[in-house]
Structure 1
């Protein structure tokens, strides 16, 4: 699955869609500001949270961090563990805020 642009995500949300969004930034970053409805799972804790995500294995998951690096790692990790539809938010939260 291809990654997603901030504009595409904003448009989908404006149309009433509620995709699963996982914020892999640190907890304190998420507490400062976040995308409404996103789920905070810091990258370092992702391996321990796989069981909680099991029901999403075949669904679209959008991962994001501040600029896109950590979420690219999260996407690769999830794909390696059998998640089939993982998309990285290009430019991360910074780009989303500016879109």
Structure 2
């Protein structure tokens, strides 16, 4: 009976496999590339104590609507082509952020692949930053 269910509903099991694969790949990719997560208070410490640099991968309109003070805006869509602009920061901690923290992981992977030594992903992005009542520039 159980095997019949599996055979008749094979597509459900394939979908389950795909979903599980996607859930595992995010953290696995992060670990493989040596990217650390940083919350908002850790990001403040990285900026103040280690001269960390915030790279915001939001599109320009989002960035203009609000961003972490002194953040460098390099949209994810153009990041690979504009990496030279960040060369002077290769030896510093780089914290990658976006609005909610989803695109920033992709940006962090790109930076690690191009030789940036210490790369962090701001967990929760600008939304987490604002939730902690930290300053935002417009």
Between the aligned partners of 2:65 and 2:110, the Cα distance in structure 1 is 26
Residue equivalent to 1:3: 37
Q: Are the counterparts in 1 of residues 43 and 95 from structure 2 also a CA contact under 8 Å?
A: no
How much is the aligned-residue C-alpha RMSD, in angstroms?
1.8
Between the aligned partners of 2:37 and 2:62, the Cα distance in structure 1 is 22
CA 1:76 to 1:16, structure 2 compared with 1: closer, same or farther past 3 Å? closer
Unaligned runs of 5+ residues in structure 2 are 1-34, 133-138
- How far the C-alpha of 1:51 sits from its partner, in A, is 1.2
Between the aligned partners of 1:75 and 1:63, the Cα distance in structure 2 is 6
Aligned residues: 97
Is the counterpart of residue 28 in structure 1 residue 61 in structure 2? yes
- How far the C-alpha of 1:68 sits from its partner, in A, is 1.0
Residue equivalent to 2:113: 80
The higher-RCO structure (CA 8 Å, 6+ apart) is 1
Structure 1 length-normalised TM: 0.87
The CA deviation string for residues 30-64 of structure 1, in whole angstroms up to 9 with x for no partner, is 10111111111110110111111112222111110
Q: Which has the larger radius of gyration?
A: 2
Instruction: Name whichever structure is richer in helix by fraction.
Output: 2
- How far the C-alpha of 1:16 sits from its partner, in A, is 4.3
Q: Alignment partner for residue 66 of structure 1, among 88, 99, 102?
A: 99
Structure 2 length-normalised TM: 0.64
SS at match of 1:88: strand
